[in-house]
Each structure stands twice: as C-alpha cells, then as structure tokens.
Structure 1
Amino acid sequence: MEVNSSKKAEQFMQFQLLTEMFKEAAGDNPSFQLMMEGLLQSVTDSKGNLDFSRLGLEQMDLDKLGYAAQERLTNVYNDVSSSVKSGNSSIDQAVEKASRKYGIDKDLIMAVIKQESSFDPYSVSKAGAEGLMQLMPGTAKDLGVNNPFNIEENVDGGTRYLRDMLDMYNNSKQLALAAYNAGPGTLKRRGVDTVEEISNLPSETRDYVQKVMKYEALYKQK
C-alpha cells in the first residue's frame, strides 16, 4: 500500500514537472493553452470541478506531498480556464442576445470570439479584419455593421454570418467554421463538401476549426 502511494505521489510530481517543461518550451501561447485545456479537461467532472482520482491520486496521497499539491494543481486549472472567459459583461450580454436571435449555441459563439480576437473588441488583423469576430470591412458592410468595434454590432453581425454558414452547410459546425475562416469560395474551389474533406484546406483553416471546437467543448464544461 505504501509503495502504491509513493508511486502515485511520484506520478503527480512528474505531472507538475511536465507542466513546467511544456510551459517553458511553449511559452504563453495558444499551443500550450490548448494542450493544458485538453489535459485538464480530462480530469474535470461534469460540474466543472477537478476530480483528482482521474489522475490516479487520492486525497491522502496529495496531502503526503506536503506542499499543497491540490491547491497548486487547482490554480493551474483556474489560470487556464480563465483564459477562455470573456471577462466583459457587455460581451456576455451581446453573445446571449445573438444566441437567442440566430439560434446558435452561445458556447460556439464564445469559442469563435476567443479564437478570432481573444475578446479584444478593438482587435485588427494584418488582413484588416476588425473587432471581436474579426469581420472584414466588406463583410461588415453587407451585414449592416456600421461600427465593427461596437461590441453588440460586431457580435450580432458575426453571429449572423456564422448562421449563414451553418445554413449553407446543413448545420455542420466544422464546415461552417471552415467557411467562416477561409470563405465559402475556398471550400468550393477545393471541393470541400464533407467534414473529412476539410483536410484539403490550408493548415491555418484546419487548425482554426480544431481550436474553435476545442474551445466550445471547454465552455460546455462550465
């Protein structure tokens, strides 16, 4: 029994060490963030709380480590989880409103915003996309968005466009997201009609779809 407990403690310390190594190697960037989200999501219960038994650790094993192991791991989890929250009540309200108006799950809208602008209403990409949901000026105009830096206007316009993409691709989230990122014209030129054919799209779009789906799954844990 003592050997088993020591083994679990060793595994936990390895987990902590790997976390620090990955963070040192990747730095504060989306790749580390997504990796930690996936790892920590696997040890989170249905209520969004950490279930340490999924790491193979009992509470007494954590206590034996002698340096507040549970608190340390919880802090890591909270740091990662907070990175996908808007932290802005105006954004939350705009998402709620757009979700009801266009019939799109608010978790998906939030996931798109997270990936597009990381909740920065004044974000501008190198290509000229603007605001929370990164609308190109021409697209914003077509959607009736007069001020792309206005939170409610941008979220409404971006969600409306996402609704159009979902309707175009028979409510396939992956295909709609691919079209949101690359444009439906790109999907048509590359003969992308199914989720499996997304592999024919540029790596940027493939990564975009995977990340947004990952963020949406994380939101649903909340």
Structure 2
Amino acid sequence: MKIDDNKRIEGFLQMQLLRQVLKNTIEDSPSFDLVLESVTNAMADKNGGLNGINLGSIDLKDLGYGGGTKLVSDVRSTSSNVKSNNPKLDEIVENVSRKFGVDKDLIISVIKQESSFQPNCVSEAGAMGLMQLMPSTAKEMGVNNPFDMEENINGGTKYLKGLLDMYGNSKELALAAYNAGPGTLQNRGVKNTSDIGKLPYETKNYVKKVMKNYGK
C-alpha cells in the first residue's frame, strides 16, 4: 500500500471519528450536517487537504453530508410551509409550544387546517375558534372562552399533546385522533400509521394536508 493511500485512509478515519463526536453532541440532523461541513472547511488547507492530508478520492457523502446547496435546502425544509402573518398569534404559539413541548410548526399547521387563522370561526358541528375545539373538549381542557386566541391555542395544544403521548408521539396518529376522535381510531383498529387507510376519507385527507403544511 502506498504512503499516500495510508494518509488518505488516516484522514478518512479521522473524519469518521470527528463525525461520531459531533453526532453524539448535537444529534444527527441537518444542523449536524452543517456543523460538520463548517468544521471540515475550517480544517481544510488551501490545497483541499485535511491537516496536510489530501483526501483524494474519498467521497465526503460517506462522512454524512452532501453539498452546501443541498444542506441549506434540507434546513429550510424543516420549517413549516405555512405562516400566520399574525405576530400576536405567533407569540402565543411560541409560548404554548414551550409550555407543552409540542413543535410550534405542528401547532401552526393544525391551526391553518382547522381555521385558516380565523379566531371567531364556528364549524357546522359546533367546533370553535382557531383550533376548532368542540364544547366538550374546550371544557375538558379548561377553556372558558374558545374565541380567545390564547385560551383556544392553549387548550388545543394541551389536547394535541395528550394525543401525541397516547400514540407514542406519532404525529400522524395524533392528528387522525384530533380530527376523528380516539374512539374512531379504536373502533376501526387503527394502531399504527399503516392503519390510517381504515379511517374516513375526511380524516385521511386531514392528516395528509396538515403533514404537508408541517413540512417535516
């Protein structure tokens, strides 16, 4: 084996070690990929080497990241595809998200699908406000005024959090239950995401649209 080959292998192994250390520190995510790329670029010399070691034909995709354009695209794709354009609503969602530990983008996506950000809307079935709470659900969640943005989002997110806990943090199942009720899922034998096809079209479409808005 040539000396250059030994150096390239050594460089590869060093990068693998670096990748594992970073992964254990900040987890495997688009953010992790960006950090890895930044560190690699900082360590690379003007000839494209790493600490004087030419990486040669090593494919950096093997180290866990692709090109910068793809990484930026991946990071952008982790944001919700919908915006409320309402600073007060966004502030409430931010606070409630921290309170219950539910992703703010998921909350926003539910609000978009339920009410299109209209705090005073009422459905034919009697669901009220931004997160379309039924009277019984609003009462159970401690919501006195379902048309108050803060109360409604607080109650709706509290309910959503309960469903996420119930279904092992499966967003698809929690959303299905938010739309159709946990009883419907139980009666139709829906125990995992592959069973969602057993649900009514309205619920299947609801889950699809919210997850599309969610964009993660």
Q: TM-score range by the shorter chain?
A: 0.5 to 0.7
How far did 1:45 drift?
3.2
* Corresponding residue for residue 140 of structure 2: 142
> Mind listing any 5+ residue stretches in structure 2 that lack a counterpart?
1-71
2:166 aligned partner, one-letter code: M
1:157 aligned partner, one-letter code: G
How far did 1:203 drift?
0.3
* Corresponding residue for residue 45 of structure 1: 73
Map 1:80-99; keep pairs closer than 5 Å. 84-99=82-97
Instruction: Work out which of the residue numbers 84, 107, 110 in structure 1 matches 2:105.
Output: 107
- Secondary structure of residue in 2 paired with 1:45: helix
How far did 1:85 drift?
1.6
C-alpha separation in 2, matches of 1:176 and 1:154: 18
* Corresponding residue for residue 167 of structure 1: 165
> Mind listing any 5+ residue stretches in structure 1 that lack a counterpart?
1-43, 50-80
Deviations for 1:55-81, whole angstroms, at most 9, x for unmatched residues? xxxxxxxxxxxxxxxxxxxxxxxxxx6
How far did 1:46 drift?
4.5
2:73 aligned partner, one-letter code: D
1:100 aligned partner, one-letter code: R
TM-score, with normalisation over the residues of structure 2?
0.63
Instruction: Work out which of the residue numbers 176, 179, 184 in structure 2 matches 1:178.
Output: 176
- Secondary structure of residue in 1 paired with 2:83: coil
Instruction: Work out which of the residue numbers 149, 152, 155 in structure 1 matches 2:153.
Output: 155
Percent identical residues: 63
C-alpha separation in 2, matches of 1:47 and 1:175: 25
Higher helix share: 1
Deviations for 1:5-44, whole angstroms, at most 9, x for unmatched residues? xxxxxxxxxxxxxxxxxxxxxxxxxxxxxxxxxxxxxxx9
Larger radius of gyration: 2
* Corresponding residue for residue 190 of structure 1: 188
Deviations for 1:86-105, whole angstroms, at most 9, x for unmatched residues? 11111101100110000011
1:87 aligned partner, one-letter code: N
